[in-house]
Structure formats: C-alpha cells, structure tokens
Structure 1
Amino acid sequence: MIPKVLHERGLSAAVHPFDGNQPIASRHSKTSFHVVQSTLMNNTVVGVTLRPWRRPGKADRWMQSMSYFSAVEAAGGIPLGIPPLPEDSLRVLYEMCDALLLPGGMDLDPATYGAGPGPEGEVHPELDRTEMLLTGWARRDRLPLLGICRGAQMLTVALGGTLWRDLPTESGAVGHGGTEGEPTRHHDIEITPGSRLHALLGPGPLPVNSRHHQATRTTGENLRVSAQAPDGTPEAIEAAGPDEDWFALAVQWHPEELPADHPTGSLRLVEGLLRATRETPRLVATP
C-alpha cells in the first residue's frame, strides 16, 4: 500500500512513484530526509554550530565545547554539529534539524553590523556568514532557536541590531568577564515579567555566570530584552511583535557550564527549545 502523509499547518505532501513509492514531503521546506529523521524515528535533532580552530603548525579543525552537546542530550535531544560550509551543503544539514543552538565563541566581525575595526578579539567571517544564514532560515521557517553568549550577539546582529563592542570601554559596564585571562564572573539578572524567559525560569533575581566583553546595544527587528544585569546590560533577548510566535531566545551567560538543576542552567532552556519543536505540527506517515 502506498504510504499517506498527513497535511498540517502549511505542510506540503505528495506521493511520488519513485523507488517504491516513498512519500516526498516537506515541513515548510523540509525534505523527505527530515521526515525520516524526525518523524518516523521520533527524534529531535538540534543543530549546534562548530567554530574554526587554526593555529600555526597545526591541522585546521572544527571545534566546539562538549558541554553544548551534553546539554542537548540531557534534555532529550540529539545534537548535530554544523560546520561553516558552502550554502548548498549548509542547507542540507539545516534540513535535518528540528531546532538550532548557536553557542558561545569568538567575537563577531564588526563588519556584520556596519562597524569598522575596533577592540574585537579573534573573528571568523565564515562562521558569521554560516550563523547569519541559519538564523535567517530559522526565522522564515519558524524553526526554534536558542542562542548562548555569542549566540545572543548573533541573533541581535542577524535581525539588524548592534553590539557594545567592549563593555568596559564603551558602556562602562564591568564585572562581566570576557577579557583574556580574566576568570568567570557571577552576578544576578532581573527577568522581564511576561517574557518567554520568565515562563521558562520564573521571576528574578536569579544568579548567572558571566564571561563576555560584548553584548546587545540596540535590539534587532522584532526583538526585546527579557533579562538585564544590575548595571542594565542586556542578558537575554527574544523574538517579539510579529515574530513572537517564533521560539527565538538567546542568553548572554553560559548555562551549559552550570549544574543541570541550577535555576539558570541549561536544562530548562534546552527543554523549552525541544518543547517548541513538539508544539509545531509534524508530518506523520501512516500505512
């Protein structure tokens, strides 16, 4: 019997006589491979971007902290590393994902938000380009997205915002860490009532770790600040306004480095990300 594929919430589906009459289907623009990975196997795949690592005399590598992958697994998801690739290849990996996690890392190239050379540390334009593409696709497809540290800065810039390029010298904010050799700092955050972050973590003040010298200066299009440090530095941003139905949330601290049961640790945040994928109707194959 030819399989049937249910059609829900803008999902296109068809049966095509090819190799045993497999269903060809898509969720927004998702391919049949996505259906096999995430519907038939009932797995939630979270794409985690990888960063370049280049050092003289060493082979070039793609790298990422294992803590991000462990955080996804602890919440019940399956992490998938996504390195910077040409757009066509990148799109193939994106199609396999039910959600995205943009992790911490090096500074964004100031050219991504129209600034000239400044106090940035190590930058990798190919990673910026990769995450800009992924964020744009996720926004269009309403693919859930969680950003951490650099990921918060990427969400800001991808939606047209700007950054404090160096908090101590530009905004006067101190105690956030992030400079070479400086230890991780700790401070409280206040959470905006009624925000998505408030629904996940509850009211503040809540303690967070801190290791960043950059932060959101002006929010991008359809973004709002949902947590602040005592000095007013934005500590979380999320989709708002016309984009409020999109689970796009990014925090400036490092929840993946905190204990799982910590009030601002990764478990609640990643569980919220995975819940958002389940709240979106999926393709269901039936005999």
Structure 2
Amino acid sequence: MTKPVIAITGPTHGAAGPRFLVASAVRHYGGIPLQLKPGDEERNHRYQGVVITGGHDVDPVLYAAEPEVKPRYDSARDRLESAVIDHALSQELPLLGICRGAQLLNVRCGGNLFQDLRSRRKLTSQRRTVLPLKTLCVEPDSHLARLLGRQRARINSLHNQAINRVGDGLVISARDLDQIPQAVEAPGRRFVIGVQWHPEFLLFLPRQRRLFQALVSAAGETL
C-alpha cells in the first residue's frame, strides 16, 4: 500500500524537537515525513499533505502592516512556507498549520494578525507553557469539534501573536476564554486546519493526536 508523503516545514536551523515530534506522529499514522527548509521551495518535491510548524513571528509586511513589536522574523522561511501554503491550497492538499503556521495560512488567505496579545488577555495567563493549561472553546458544528469529540479541551500556549481579521475561505473554529482565535478551518475543503497551540507537544493526549491522524488519512485519499 502506498503511503502519503507529508511535507513538514521549518527553519534552516533549530526547531529540531518540534519537527521530530510532528514527524513521529506522521509516521505513527502511516505517513512518510518530508522535512522542508528554506530553499527547498525551488525543488520539485512531491507530497500529498503539509504541516506548517511553529516558530518566529510572521513578517507584518506580508499583510501590509507596520511592525508593532521588536522584530523576530525569518524572511527565508516566510518565502518557503508561503509557497508551500499557496501550492497546497491550489492543489487541494490537506494542510495543518501549527501556531505560526496557522497565522501564515490566514495571511496567505488575505487576513491579518494581532502582533501583541498582552493587552488582550484578561482571563488567560500571559505565561507561555507546553503544558495544557489553557481552555479551548470549540465551535460545535466545526470540523475541529468532530475531530476532538468535544466543545471544550485543554491546550498549551507558546504564542504572542494571533489571528485578527480572518482570511478568505476560512472561519474561526475555536477561541480561548478571552475570545482570541485559537483555530481556523476551511469549510468545503478536505482538510485545512490551523491551530494556535502546539499539538506536537501534546501527543500523550489522544484527542490531540487525531489532528495528525486526520491529516495523514486525508492525504492518503489523494493518492
């Protein structure tokens, strides 16, 4: 049986841990991970699904905004992942965006971002942690709700930016207690979901593993 290839994007250096965990989840559910780094967008890689992983902030020039925080951008990675997202959307490939990946997905669809969430957090902690200490409120009729099997879940939080105006073709499928968007998805597509948290650090939770399971399954349908 042919296994689907899942492209996993990341920076030129670093982020080995998260990408290893994503690759492990992909393998566990029958996919073949393909690690992509800046420069690989020029090569003719073949894959049936995509995971855009987390990392530095998305450059605000991509959504026509001025920087509001001290820059931590990676323009080479922005180019790679913008090309991969555009290709995945044009070819109807399953796509999972994680944290920065969800934000860039939204930007590529014409949306924009909150650049600093500190003033917007009233009911949730400013602390960043890989532990599932934040409450996720899921829209009941969403694809995400069907995957998680519930309307409330516990998630982690490592981000300082988030989705503001939602891009074309996307809808918000989950928020936190401060009503900050925590997930978007594309109704009508096989599998396009962006999550603001890091499910790769929560693989010990069966509900979080379902994101990767569903991605690999949807990619297999394209073979």
TM-score by length of 2: 0.91
Matches for 1:25-104 after TM superposition, within 5 Å: 42-53=2-13, 63=16, 65=18, 66-85=20-39, 87-89=41-43, 92-93=44-45, 96-104=46-54
**For 1:224-278, what per-residue CA distance to the aligned partner results, in whole angstroms no more than 9, with x for missing partners?**
00011011011110013xxx22411011111110133343x2x200111112123
Alignment counterpart, residue 96 of structure 2, candidates 143, 146, 152:
146
> Quick one: which amino acid aligns to residue 50 of structure 1?
G
How far apart, in 1, do the equivalents of 2:148 and 2:118 lie? 28
- Quickly say closer, same or farther: Cα 1:87–1:212, change in 2 above 3 A: closer
The DSSP-based 3-state class of the residue aligned with 2:200 is: helix
Q: Give the deviation of 1:158 after TM superposition.
A: 0.8
Q: Give the deviation of 1:279 after TM superposition.
A: 3.1
Task: Report runs of 4+ in structure 1 exceeding 6 Å deviation.
Answer: none
- Quickly say closer, same or farther: Cα 1:234–1:125, change in 2 above 3 A: same
Gaps of 5+ in 2: none
Structure of higher RCO (CA pairs closer than 8 Å, 6+ residues apart): 2
CA RMSD of aligned residues (A): 2.0
Matched, 1:165 2:112: no
The DSSP-based 3-state class of the residue aligned with 1:270 is: helix
Partner of 1:237: 184
The DSSP-based 3-state class of the residue aligned with 1:51 is: coil
How far apart, in 1, do the equivalents of 2:186 and 2:94 lie? 11
Matches for 1:120-135 after TM superposition, within 5 Å: 120-135=70-85
Tell me the percent identity: 35
Matched, 1:205 2:165: no
> Quick one: which amino acid aligns to residue 203 of structure 1?
R
> Quick one: which amino acid aligns to residue 162 of structure 2?
A
Alignment counterpart, residue 117 of structure 1, candidates 54, 67, 91:
67
> Quick one: which amino acid aligns to residue 172 of structure 2?
V
Task: Answer yes or no: is the 8 Å Cα contact 1:98–1:144 preserved in 2.
Answer: yes
Q: Give the deviation of 1:187 after TM superposition.
A: 1.1
Partner of 1:251: 195
The DSSP-based 3-state class of the residue aligned with 1:218 is: coil
How far apart, in 2, do the equivalents of 1:120 and 1:160 lie? 23
The DSSP-based 3-state class of the residue aligned with 1:157 is: helix
How far apart, in 2, do the equivalents of 1:123 and 1:155 lie? 16
The DSSP-based 3-state class of the residue aligned with 1:133 is: helix
How far apart, in 1, do the equivalents of 2:79 and 2:116 lie? 22
TM-score by length of 1: 0.71
State the aligned residue count. Answer: 220
Q: Give the deviation of 1:83 after TM superposition.
A: 1.0
How far apart, in 1, do the equivalents of 2:39 and 2:203 lie? 33
Task: Answer yes or no: is the 8 Å Cα contact 1:51–1:63 preserved in 2.
Answer: no
- Quickly say closer, same or farther: Cα 1:52–1:187, change in 2 above 3 A: same
Q: Give the deviation of 1:50 after TM superposition.
A: 2.1
Task: Answer yes or no: is the 8 Å Cα contact 1:52–1:63 preserved in 2.
Answer: no
The DSSP-based 3-state class of the residue aligned with 1:67 is: helix
- Quickly say closer, same or farther: Cα 1:87–1:258, change in 2 above 3 A: closer
Partner of 1:216: 163
Gaps of 5+ in 1: 1-40, 54-60, 283-287
Structure number with larger C-alpha Rg: 1
Partner of 1:24: none
